[in-house]
Chain A
Amino acid sequence: MALARPTDPRIAAGVIALAAITLLIGGAFLGLLFEGAHDLSGAWAAFDPYLLRVVRFTLWQAALSTLLSVVPALLVARALSRHPRFFGRGFILQLFALPLALPAIVAALGILALYGRAGYFAGLSSAVGGQDWPGIYGLSGILVAHVFFNLPLATRLFLEALQTIPSDQWRLASQLGMGARPAFRLIEWPALRAALPGIAGLVFMLCVTSFTIVLTLGGGPAATTLEVGIYQALRFDFDPARAVTLTFLQIALTFVVVLVLTRLGANVAGDANLPVAPRRYPQVNGAEASLNAALIVGALLFVAGPMAATVTAGLSADIGRLAGEAAVRQATLTSAAFALLSALLSVMLSLALTMARGALALNRRSGPKTLLEHATDTGAGFVLVVPPIVIGAGWFLLLRHAGDVFAIAPLMVVTVNAVMAMPFALRAVRPAYDAASARHERLCAQLGISGLARWRLIDWPSMRRPLATAFAFAMALSLGDLGVIALFGSDSVQTLPYLLLARMGSYRTQDAAGLALLLGLVCLALVLAADRLGKGTARDV
C-alpha cells in the first residue's frame, strides 16, 4: 500500500544505519586489502604446513563438537517431549536456557574449576585412586565447553521442532495403538530430521567462529583455530601478513558455512524462547521411562556442573578484596559504560533498519523489492558472516599506520559489539514492530498521525517493551564479550572479561573465579530481564 512517502524519515534512518554498518565492515576490509597488497609475498608465505594444521583443527573440532552436541541433544529432547509433565521439567528447560546468557569466558572458568588439572574432579580422583587427573586442556577442553553451550541450545531447538507436531497426530497415534518405536519412526523422526540440518549447521557455525573457548581452553599450537591464530598473529607474533591470510581464510570459511546454513533454512541467530508442552501423551513403559530419566539426568548434570563450579569457586574467592581493587573497579566501570553504549547503539541500529524495512515494504505496491529493502531486510544477517575478530583485525591493521591502535579501543569495542548483537536485537524488535505496524499503519495514515507525534503516541508505547528486551540482551552479549577487546585491550583500557583473561594468564585463578561469578550473575540478570520483558503482553503497558 502506498502509505509511506519516499521522504519518510523512517527510510532516512535506515539508510544512515546501513551506512554506519557498511563503514564499520568496509573499513575492516580496506585494512585487510591494504595490508595484503602491501605485503603480498608475506601473505602467500603464510600458507605453510602450520596454517593447514590450523584450518584442519578448526574444522575438526567444530565437526566433533557438533556431533557430540547434536546427537545427545536429539535423544534428550525426545525424552523431554515424551514426558511433558514431571517435577522439575520447567526448571530444566530454564537451566538449558542459561548457557546462552553465560559469557564464554565464565563458562570456560567453570569448566576448568570442575574438570581442570586443579579442579574438583582432580581432587576427587587423587583422593579416591591416588592417580593424576589428566585435566582438560586442548581438544578435550574445547569439546566439553562447546558441548556445554550447544547441547542445551540444540535440545531446546529439537524440542521446539517436536512441539510443532500437531496434537491430532498424537491422538491418532494413541487411537491406532502405536508404541514408542513406531511413534518415533513415523511421527517424531520426520519432525526431528527436518530440523536436524538447520540445528547441526547452527552449532557447527558457532563452533567454527568460537574464539574465547579456544583461547582459554585450547592449549598451544596443537589446538589453535583460525580466530585464535589471527589474535596471536596480531598480538604476539606481530605478523600482519599472516593475520591477513588467516582472516581471509576465516571469512571464506564462515561464508561457505552461512551459505550452506541459509540453504538449510537454519536460524543463525539462535533462540531464547522457552517451549512449554501442556499436552498429554500415551503411557510410556517402564524401560523407556528409565532410559529417558537417565538421559535427562545426565544432560542436567553435564550442564549444571560447570555452573555450580562457577558459583562455588567464585564464592571461595576473596570477593571483598577484589571489590576493593582499583583495577577491578575500573574494569567494571569500563565494562558497564561500553555495554550500555553498545546496547543503545545496537537497539537504535535495529530499530532504524526495522522501520526503514517496514516503510519500504509499504511504499512498494507489488513490484520486486529494491536493493535498499533487501539490505534493510537480510543485510543485517550478513554481519554474522564477519566475526568480530575479523572486523577488529581489519581495523587494527588499518589504524596501526595512523598511530596508536589502542587509543580507539573504546570505539571499536562499542561499535563491533553493537553490530554483533544486532541479529539478536532484531529478533526482539522486528516482529513487534511489524505487528504494531500492521495494526496502526492505515489508522495513522487516515488520521494524519506522523513524525514525532506518531513516535510519542503510537510507536513508543507499543515498542518500549521489545526495545527493552533487545537492550538487555544486547547489553549482556556486549558485557561478556571477549573478542575485540582481546585485540584492542591494554593496561589503560580493560573490561571485566579482559581482566579475567589477564588474571587467568597470571595464574591468579581465585581472582578469576570471583570475577567470573560477578560477570556471570550480571549477564544472567540481564538475560532474565530481557526474557521477562519479552514475555509481558501489551496488558502491562
Chain B
Amino acid sequence: MSDRATGGKGMPVRLDRVSFSYGEAPLGFDVAFTAAQITAIMGPSGSGKSTLLNLVAGFETPQAGRVLIGGADVGAAPPAARPVSMVFQENNLFAHLSVEQNVGLGRSPSLRLAEADRAAIADALVRTGLAGKEKRLPRELSGGERQRVALARVLVRDRPVLLLDEPFASLGPALRDDMLDLVAGLHAERGMTVLFVTHQPQDARRIAEQVVFLDNGAVAATGTADDFFAGAGPEAFQRYIGDNAGHAVSRDIARKPT
C-alpha cells in the first residue's frame, strides 16, 4: 500500500480552470493550495466548499479543466488511487467493524494485514489517544472518538494530502479544540497538505495558515489567515464572518442575551 504514500511529504494541489455543475448553477474553480500547509476553505452554504473537496478526492469528475496533485493530472484516477485521504463530517467508520479493523482498512482494503501493518495501526491508535479501545465498535465510542479513529486511519494511510470536510462540526467547542490540536500535531509530524472546510472562523484561526474564500461557486479571495482575520480580507468575507466573529471570546458573549 505504501507505493502511493510518500512518507509524509505534502504535495501541492491545484485546480486548473475546473468547471463542474450539478445541473443548476455551474461551479468554476481555479486555485492552488500550497504544499505542506493547512488551508481553511470557507464560504456560505452552497458556495461549493464540499464540491471542491469532492473534486480533489475523485468523488466528482470535472466537466472541464484539470485536477493536479503533486504536478500530476489525477483526473482519470479513481478515488482510492489518488494520494489523498478524506475525513467526512460523519459516516467515516463502518458500524459493524471494530476500531482496529476500521483503521486497518487504511492499510489493506481486504483487511489482509502483515505484522508491520498491525504495528502501524497500534501506533496510530496510541497517537490519536485510542489505546485500549481497539476492539470497540463505533457505536461504543463518543462522537469525538469516532473522528479520532478516522484520523488514525489517515495516519496509517499516510497520503500526502488530507481533506477535512467539516469533520468536527457536530462536536462541542472544547472537544473541537482538542481535535484541532490533534490535527495540528499530526500536520507538524507528517507535513501533509491539509484542505480544511469549516464554518467556524475560530477553527480556521486556530490551525490554518492560508484561507481560501468561496462565494457563489467560485474562489472569491485567497490570502494568509493572519491577513483575513486582521480585517484585510474581502468585504464578502467580513460580511460572512460577521462583525466580531473570529474572536473566540466574543462568540460566547454574543450568545448570552438569547
CB distance from A229 to the nearest CB of B (A): 51
Q: For the complex, would chain B's binding face be called helix, strand, loop or mixed by DSSP majority?
A: loop
Compute how far the CA of A11 lies from the CA of B111 in the bound complex, rounded to whole angstroms: 25
The interface bits of chain A over 528-541 (1 if a CB of B lies within 8 angstroms of the residue's CB, else 0) are 00000000001101
- Known contacts A449-B105, A462-B96, A439 near B23 by CB under 8 Å: no
Compute how far the CA of A440 lies from the CA of B79 in the bound complex, rounded to whole angstroms: 14
Q: Interface size on B (CB < 8 Å)?
A: 30
Q: A370 contacts the other chain (Cβ, under 8 Å)? A: no
The interface bits of chain B over 192-205 (1 if a CB of A lies within 8 angstroms of the residue's CB, else 0) are 00000000000000
Q: Are B91 and A447 in contact (CB under 8 A)?
A: no
Q: Are A443 and B110 in contact (CB under 8 A)?
A: no
Compute how far the CA of A365 lies from the CA of B58 in the bound complex, rounded to whole angstroms: 13
Q: Are A442 and B78 in contact (CB under 8 A)?
A: no
The interface bits of chain A over 451-489 (1 if a CB of B lies within 8 angstroms of the residue's CB, else 0) are 011001110011000000000000000000000000000
Q: A71 contacts the other chain (Cβ, under 8 Å)? A: no
Closest partner residue, chain B, to A454 (CB atom): B109
Q: A186 contacts the other chain (Cβ, under 8 Å)? A: no
Write out the residue numbers on chain A whose beta carbons fall within 8 Å of the beta carbon of B157.
Answer: 447
Write out the residue numbers on chain A whose beta carbons fall within 8 Å of the beta carbon of B96.
Answer: 461-462, 538, 541
Q: A285 contacts the other chain (Cβ, under 8 Å)? A: no
Write out the residue numbers on chain A whose beta carbons fall within 8 Å of the beta carbon of B79.
Answer: 3, 442, 445-446, 448
Q: B141 contacts the other chain (Cβ, under 8 Å)? A: no
Q: A5 contacts the other chain (Cβ, under 8 Å)? A: yes
Q: A1 contacts the other chain (Cβ, under 8 Å)? A: yes
Q: Are A443 and B91 in contact (CB under 8 A)?
A: yes
Compute how far the CA of A367 lies from the CA of B22 in the bound complex, rounded to whole angstroms: 9
Q: For the complex, would chain A's binding face be called helix, strand, loop or mixed by DSSP majority?
A: helix
Q: Are B61 and A446 in contact (CB under 8 A)?
A: no
Write out the residue numbers on chain A whose beta carbons fall within 8 Å of the beta carbon of B91.
Answer: 438-440, 442-443
Write out the residue numbers on chain A whose beta carbons fall within 8 Å of the beta carbon of B110.
Answer: 449, 452-453, 456-457
Q: Are A2 and B94 in contact (CB under 8 A)?
A: no
Question: How many inter-chain contacts with C-beta < 8 Å in the A-B complex?
Answer: 77
Compute how far the CA of A5 lies from the CA of B109 in the bound complex, rounded to whole angstroms: 18
CB distance from A466 to the nearest CB of B (A): 13
Write out the residue numbers on chain B whose beta carbons fall within 8 Å of the beta carbon of A458.
Answer: 94
The interface bits of chain B over 13-56 (1 if a CB of A lies within 8 angstroms of the residue's CB, else 0) are 00000000111000000000000000000000000000000100
Q: B86 contacts the other chain (Cβ, under 8 Å)? A: yes
Q: B88 contacts the other chain (Cβ, under 8 Å)? A: yes
The interface bits of chain A over 1-37 (1 if a CB of B lies within 8 angstroms of the residue's CB, else 0) are 1110100000000000000000000000000000000
- Known contacts A2-B61, A538-B96, A446 near B85 by CB under 8 Å: yes
Q: B218 contacts the other chain (Cβ, under 8 Å)? A: no
- Known contacts A442-B88, A443-B91, A447-B109, A457 near B59 by CB under 8 Å: no
Q: A366 contacts the other chain (Cβ, under 8 Å)? A: yes
Q: A450 contacts the other chain (Cβ, under 8 Å)? A: yes
Closest partner residue, chain B, to A367 (CB atom): B23
CB distance from A501 to the nearest CB of B (A): 46
The interface bits of chain B over 48-87 (1 if a CB of A lies within 8 angstroms of the residue's CB, else 0) are 0000001001111100000000000000001111001110
Compute how far the CA of A1 lies from the CA of B79 in the bound complex, rounded to whole angstroms: 11
Q: B92 contacts the other chain (Cβ, under 8 Å)? A: yes
CB distance from A439 to the nearest CB of B (A): 5
Compute how far the CA of A488 lies from the CA of B23 in the bound complex, rounded to whole angstroms: 53
Q: Which of B21, B85, B88, B95 has the most CB of A within 10 A?
A: B95
Which of A439, A445, A539 is in CB contact (< 8 Å) with B58? A445
Q: Are A448 and B22 in contact (CB under 8 A)?
A: no
Closest partner residue, chain B, to A1 (CB atom): B59
CB distance from A6 to the nearest CB of B (A): 12
Q: B97 contacts the other chain (Cβ, under 8 Å)? A: yes
| Chain B residues with a Cβ under 8 A of chain A | 21-23, 54, 57-61, 78-81, 84-86, 88, 91-92, 94-97, 105-106, 109-111, 139, 157
Q: Which 10 A-B pairs give the minimum distances between C-beta atoms?
A: A448-B80, A453-B110, A366-B23, A449-B109, A445-B79, A461-B96, A448-B109, A2-B61, A439-B91, A541-B96
